[in-house]
């Protein structure tokens, strides 16, 4: 295995709605490059990417798997991320490690809910993207209809680079719009489309450079070299989203995709620096991403492997790391000794001597290292901001079936939460139950199957609990001075905060606008810590506060009596006061529900959905059945399985995934808040 770095690596993440064909594409890419001797197949259960027994049973990706293929002396690391909304944490953690994303869209199904979700996640992270229209060989595949949808949904910068020759069972090759290779095999009508798409493509590419725009507008032809040069730049800047097409199963269009990844996709070296923070001074740094720098990187995934134990998967940002050496973990504040380094090919680990800047590697059996930790040379400590907090939407209570299960459960759950950051384990302070929270029904079902399969722990599952959140609707300014005089040294912390709502899903932002040292610099983190602690406890009904921006803009301090603690308390109390003045509301998880029912149950089902505050998004025929799509608050769906069974005499089925958080109507919110107060009082009396 040669060494690859900076310019000879491509890190690509495959994303899509569940079932659009990412994993098949990953298997096809490996086969196309001769990495495997026969092409893996999801249906046959021998895919290189979906190797987990649960993935083979369910025929879906649950984990993000890491694969690689080598083409033209370039190593392409492929991250195959799950499409199911329930496993979005896997996708979110892997995005920072990718330099480009390929959104797979099925030629049969077009854009689906999950397609919009993954587009949004990549857009939020400024990841350059391409689109691959898969399943071109299937019945009902319609390339041009999907292109229309893409342009309407995602914009005109999405433009084909290849056109299909033949369609459905006749699909036999792809024509290249840039080089005009195989144009002669297109019909006259298709050639006219091709010329139009080629123009659109060149126009998007020209926009990457002012001189090129001018040349293009003056009607001069751009040379092939110019197009190639500026395609690279435009792609990296998200000014052009090239669309590929093909069939993974038939190996059509796959090789063309690989060639273009090598020639046009950004390499890690394209990003000359990566932002980081000095953990000791809090100072912002730009880290050079070259190999001659001191080593730095971060862990973006942790896997429990049955043979080697815990595997930590990392991306190297700068420098290089060799087997049997050590690195410094900033979060654990400790030096970790490391053994053999590996690169991954699905479930196989291939031993390597070193991993260089820009590449992805793995190491086993680290003591204190977890997902999102920053790792570096002890002489130059750095923190990379790659942590993506997951907010679970649904929770089950778990009861171990036997004494034996009870002994094993906490260790098993601890291992599972290290591996999957979307899972959270807690104990309910009132009921003393063990609570497992996750991103949706499927997520928790898989977790419970994994407990049984991998850790041999059996549990009984209780009613899900709803993870409400709190937020505010207006802005306010608030002041709190915390002063305490007792015997010796007193306590003094005084802050002015401005609290404002952020857009849904923006979580939290803390700004320091202190001027002239009204509060000394070293106390600002204490104010933030006080605010964050109070946000976790909630103000209205004990649910975490989200989507707020807090600015500390004034205050005062005392030379002797001020302390970290005093400013933490002042920050926390000020936040609580402010939130109560800023029109606080409760948010609830709203689920994307798909229900398949016999025609004659339609009326009963839609009536029932509206009684659950549900909004029907669409209906379509699906064989002899109707498929209803709706968005319904989770709190109204807790007993749905039983109710659906009785409404359809057992003939209906449904799936539910998390969609978004929405405001709880006033009447419902009052009830939740008063119940929380009663529980709170009872707890204080015990």
pLDDT digits (tens, 9 = 90+) for 466-505: 888 999 999 999 999 998 877 667 889 999 999 999 998 8
Same domain membership, residue 346 and residue 311: yes
Same domain membership, residue 560 and residue 426: no
pLDDT computed for residue 664 by the predictor: 94
Is 484 in contact with 514 (CB distance < 8 Å)?
no
pLDDT computed for residue 411 by the predictor: 84
Is 330 in contact with 382 (CB distance < 8 Å)?
yes
> Which of 263-267, 323-327, 616-620, 645-649 is the least confident region?
645-649
User: Of 555, 582, 609, which closes a domain?
Assistant: 582
Same domain membership, residue 478 and residue 398: no
Burial class (CB in 10 A: 0-12, 13-18, 19+), 393: buried
pLDDT computed for residue 574 by the predictor: 96
Confidence of residue 261 (pLDDT cuts 50, 70, 90): very high
Torsion over CA: 103, 109, 111, 113 (sign): negative
Does any domain span residue 197?
no
Does any domain span residue 491?
yes
pLDDT reading at 52 higher than 70: no
Please tell me the total number of residues recorded for the chain in this structure: 686
pLDDT reading at 51 higher than 60: no
Does any domain span residue 298?
yes
> What is the domain extent for residue 531?
470-582
pLDDT reading at 219 higher than 70: yes
Does any domain span residue 534?
yes
Confidence of residue 389 (pLDDT cuts 50, 70, 90): low
Does any domain span residue 58?
yes
The full 3-state SS of 64-104, as one line of letters, equals CEEEEEEECCEEEEEEECCCCHHHHHHHHHHHHHCCEEEEE
Does any domain span residue 680?
no
pLDDT computed for residue 274 by the predictor: 87
Q: Rounded to an integer, what distance in angstroms lies between the CA atom of residue 585 and that of residue 473?
A: 7
Q: How is 530-543 classified by DSSP, letter by letter?
A: HHHHHHHH-SSSSP
Does any domain span residue 383?
no
Higher model confidence: residue 51 or residue 680?
680
Same domain membership, residue 304 and residue 350: yes
Same domain membership, residue 263 and residue 289: no
Same domain membership, residue 596 and residue 448: no
Same domain membership, residue 172 and residue 63: yes
Burial class (CB in 10 A: 0-12, 13-18, 19+), 223: exposed
What is the rounded average pLDDT of the residues 335-343? 89
CATH code where residue 291 lies: 2.40.30.10
Other Cβ atoms less than 10 A from the Cβ of 574: the count is 29
CATH code where residue 438 lies: 3.30.70.870
Coil, strand or helix: which one is 351?
strand
Burial class (CB in 10 A: 0-12, 13-18, 19+), 646: exposed
Same domain membership, residue 514 and residue 430: no
What is the rounded average pLDDT of the residues 653-661? 80
Identify the H or E element spanning 524. helix 524-537
User: Of 325, 350, 376, which closes a domain?
Assistant: 376
Other Cβ atoms less than 10 A from the Cβ of 145: the count is 12
pLDDT computed for residue 456 by the predictor: 86
Confidence of residue 510 (pLDDT cuts 50, 70, 90): very high
pLDDT tens, position by position, 276-316: 888 888 888 888 888 889 899 988 888 877 677 788 899 99
pLDDT tens, position by position, 110-133: 888 778 888 888 988 889 999 999
Burial class (CB in 10 A: 0-12, 13-18, 19+), 473: exposed
Total domains present in the chain = 5
pLDDT computed for residue 210 by the predictor: 85
Same domain membership, residue 162 and residue 37: yes
Percent of the chain at pLDDT exceeding 70: 93
> Which of 81-95, 184-198, 353-367 is the least confident region?
81-95
Q: Rounded to an integer, what distance in angstroms lies between the CA atom of residue 274 and that of residue 514?
A: 28
User: Of 543, 558, 582, which closes a domain?
Assistant: 582
CATH code where residue 649 lies: 3.30.70.240
Does any domain span residue 301?
yes
Q: Rounded to an integer, what distance in angstroms lies between the CA atom of residue 593 and that of residue 603?
A: 17
Same domain membership, residue 323 and residue 301: yes
Confidence of residue 602 (pLDDT cuts 50, 70, 90): confident
pLDDT tens, position by position, 343-355: 888 878 888 998 9
pLDDT tens, position by position, 55-108: 666 667 676 788 888 998 899 999 988 776 667 777 888 888 899 999 999 998
Q: Rounded to an integer, what distance in angstroms lies between the CA atom of residue 2 and that of residue 242?
A: 30
Burial class (CB in 10 A: 0-12, 13-18, 19+), 209: middle
Q: Rounded to an integer, what distance in angstroms lies between the CA atom of residue 613 and that of residue 664?
A: 11
CATH code where residue 542 lies: 3.30.230.10
Q: Which phi and psi angles does 667 have, rounded to 5°?
A: -60, -45
Task: Tell me the two tokens of residue 158.
Answer: 């999405």
Task: Tell me the two tokens of residue 299.
Answer: 């862990």
Q: Rounded to an integer, what distance in angstroms lies between the CA atom of residue 298 and that of residue 340?
A: 17
Render the burial of 53-78: b for 16+ CB within 10 Å, e for the rest.
ebbeebebbbbbbbbbbbbeebbbbb
Same domain membership, residue 17 and residue 160: yes
Q: Rounded to an integer, what distance in angstroms lies between the CA atom of residue 439 and that of residue 171?
A: 39
Smallest Cα–Cα separation from 362: which of 430, 417, 428, 316? Answer: 316
Q: Which phi and psi angles does 565 have, rounded to 5°?
A: -60, -45
CATH code where residue 10 lies: 3.40.50.300
pLDDT computed for residue 61 by the predictor: 67
Q: Tokens 């850790």 map to which residue?
A: 455
Identify the H or E element spanning 313. strand 309-318
Coil, strand or helix: which one is 113?
helix
Identify the H or E element spanning 327. strand 326-329
Same domain membership, residue 85 and residue 42: yes
Q: How is 396-463 classified by DSSP, letter by letter?
A: EEEEESSHHHHHHHHHHHHHHHHH-TT-EEEE-TTT--EEEEESSHHHHHHHHHHHHHHH---EEE--
């Amino acid at each position: 295995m040669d060494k690859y770095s900076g310019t000879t690596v491509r890190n690509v993440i495959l994303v899509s709605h569940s079932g659009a064909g990412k994993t098949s594409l990953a298997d096809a890419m490996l086969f196309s490059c001769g990495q495997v001797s026969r092409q893996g197949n999801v249906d046959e259960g021998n895919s290189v990417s979906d190797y987990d027994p649960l993935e083979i049973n369910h025929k879906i990706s649950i984990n993000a798997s890491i694969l690689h293929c080598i083409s033209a002396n370039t190593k392409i690391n492929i991250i195959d991320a799950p499409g199911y909304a329930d496993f979005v944490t896997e996708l979110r953690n892997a995005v920072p490690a990718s330099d480009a994303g390929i959104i797979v869209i099925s030629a049969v199904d077009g854009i689906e809910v999950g397609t919009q979700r993954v587009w949004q996640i990549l857009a939020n992270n400024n990841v350059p993207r391409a689109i691959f229209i898969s399943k071109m060989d299937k019945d009902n595949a319609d390339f041009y209809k999907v292109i229309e949808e893409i342009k309407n949904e995602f914009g005109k910068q999405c433009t084909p680079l290849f056109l299909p020759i033949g369609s459905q069972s006749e699909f036999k090759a792809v024509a290249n719009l840039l080089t005009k290779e195989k144009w002669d095999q297109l019909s006259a009508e298709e050639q006219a489309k091709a010329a139009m798409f080629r123009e659109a493509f060149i126009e998007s590419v020209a926009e990457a450079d002012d001189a090129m725009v001018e040349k293009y507008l003056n009607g001069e032809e751009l040379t092939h070299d110019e197009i190639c040069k500026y395609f690279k730049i435009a792609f990296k800047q998200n000014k052009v989203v090239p669309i590929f097409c093909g069939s993974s199963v038939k190996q059509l269009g796959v090789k063309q995709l690989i060639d273009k990844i090598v020639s046009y996709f950004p390499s890690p070296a394209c990003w000359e620096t990566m932002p980081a923070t000095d953990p000791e001074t809090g100072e912002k740094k730009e880290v050079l991403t070259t190999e001659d720098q001191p080593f730095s990187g971060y862990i973006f995934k942790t896997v429990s492997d049955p043979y080697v134990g815990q595997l930590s998967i990392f991306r190297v940002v700068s420098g290089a790391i060799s087997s049997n050496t050590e690195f410094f973990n900033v979060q654990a504040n400790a030096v970790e000794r490391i053994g053999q380094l590996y690169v991954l090919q699905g479930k196989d680990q291939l031993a390597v001597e070193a991993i260089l800047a820009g590449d992805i590697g793995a190491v086993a059996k680290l003591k204190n290292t977890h997902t999102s930790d920053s790792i570096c040379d002890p002489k130059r400590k750095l923190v990379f901001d790659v942590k993506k907090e997951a907010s679970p939407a649904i929770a089950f209570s778990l009861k171990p079936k036997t004494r034996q299960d009870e002994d094993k459960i906490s260790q098993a759950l601890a291992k599972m939460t290290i591996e999957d950051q979307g899972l959270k384990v807690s104990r309910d302070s009132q009921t003393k139950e063990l609570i497992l929270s996750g991103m949706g029904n499927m997520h928790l079902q898989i977790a419970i199957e994994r407990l049984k399969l991998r850790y041999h722990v059996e549990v009984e599952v209780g009613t899900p609990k709803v993870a409400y959140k709190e937020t505010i609707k207006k802005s306010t300014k608030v002041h709190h001075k915390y002063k305490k005089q007792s015997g010796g040294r007193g306590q003094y912390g005084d802050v002015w905060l401005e609290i404002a709502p952020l857009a849904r899903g923006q979580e939290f932002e803390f700004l320091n606008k202190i001027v002239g040292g009204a509060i000394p610099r070293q106390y600002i983190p204490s104010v933030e810590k006080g605010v964050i602690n109070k946000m976790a406890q909630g103000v209205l009904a004990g649910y975490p506060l989200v989507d707020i921006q807090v600015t500390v803009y004034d205050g005062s301090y005392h030379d002797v009596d001020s302390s970290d603690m005093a400013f933490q308390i002042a920050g926390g109390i000020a936040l609580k006061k402010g939130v109560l003045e800023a029109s606080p509301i409760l948010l609830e998880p709203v689920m994307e529900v798909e229900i398949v029912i016999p025609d004659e149950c339609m009326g009963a089902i839609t009536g029932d959905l509206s009684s659950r505050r549900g909004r029907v998004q669409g209906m379509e025929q699906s064989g002899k059945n109707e498929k209803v799509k709706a968005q319904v608050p989770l709190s109204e769906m807790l007993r749905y399985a039983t109710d659906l069974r009785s409404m359809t005499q057992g003939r209906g089925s449904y799936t539910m995934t998390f969609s978004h958080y929405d405001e709880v109507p006033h009447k419902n919110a009052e009830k939740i808040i008063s119940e929380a107060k009663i529980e709170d009082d009872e707890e204080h009396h015990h």
